[in-house]
Amino acid sequence: MHVKTSDQPVVDLGFGRDQCNWGLHLAGLYEKEEDRDEILLGFLQRGNLDGDALLYCPCEQSEEDFKLKYKARHPNTAHAADDPDRFRYPSARDLYYPAGVFSPQAMEAGLESFFAESQHSGPRNVRATAEMVWALETIPGIEHLMVYESLLNNFIAGKPWVSVCLYNVTKFSGKTIMGVLRTHPYTTSGGAIVENPFYRRPEEWLAENAPNFLPAAEVNAG
């Protein structure tokens, strides 16, 4: 089944039974390790076969544990897991708060840099995913996590990019999961891609929850 998520070309996510389109910001909600791995291993393997740039931030498991699972599941392409031109494995600190403080603006700048690098040798699709349990740590600025999640929708729009943010619902509070639902236009759980009825567009969500993060033009217009 094809779930139209944008006007960009169709993408096979590699898990579940649905296809969608590039330019997608998706929340992967799960309770069990095997459900998380079903998303991860399928998503990244499909991207590997398609020659995509792959960014994976492991947090609930180590990079080494992931590689062992990947190589066991996909022995014919096992070598790719060690190829830095295909797979990047930044730590949570290196990706989200390299200066010790979480900043939505710094995150966007870092992702923009990664995207520019991925396109250096020609057009290339990007798949990014992370286990978000790192955000349970006491990190300065972490209160702005949902600001980042909201702004990420604008960053991804129009790009050949899919981000799957993996949230373990047994570890996050109901309040946080509701924040996830309000900042992700689509969710996946049990393999299906579902349009999220709780989603608020960035300009709406930010105006209500974090107006100081609105672009200056929108603030002045208000």
CA-to-CA distance for 193 and 86, rounded, in angstroms?
A: 25
- CB 43 within 8 Å of CB 54: no
**Which of 92, 112, 116, 115 is CA-nearest to residue 102?**
92
Which pLDDT tens digit goes with each residue over 140-197? 999 999 999 999 999 999 999 999 999 999 999 999 999 999 999 999 988 889 999 9
CA-to-CA distance for 108 and 113, rounded, in angstroms?
A: 9
Residue type, 192: A
The contacts of residue 188 (CB under 8 Å, 6+ apart) are: 15, 16, 26, 27, 28, 29, 39, 164, 194
The SS3 assignment for 219 reads: helix
Chain mean pLDDT for the chain = 94
Which pLDDT tens digit goes with each residue over 46-103? 999 999 999 999 999 999 999 999 999 999 999 999 999 999 999 999 999 999 999 9
Query: Which two tokens mark 41?
Result: 């291993």
Extended beta strands in 7-96, E state? 10-12, 19-21, 24-30, 53-57, 87-88
Give me the domains of the chain, ranges plus CATH numbers.
10-221 (3.40.50.300)
CA-to-CA distance for 191 and 131, rounded, in angstroms?
A: 17
Is residue 29 pLDDT above 60, yes or no? Answer: yes
Q: What are phi and psi of 65, to 5 degrees?
A: -65, -40
- CB 166 within 8 Å of CB 131: yes
User: Could you tell me the pTM of the whole model?
Assistant: 0.93
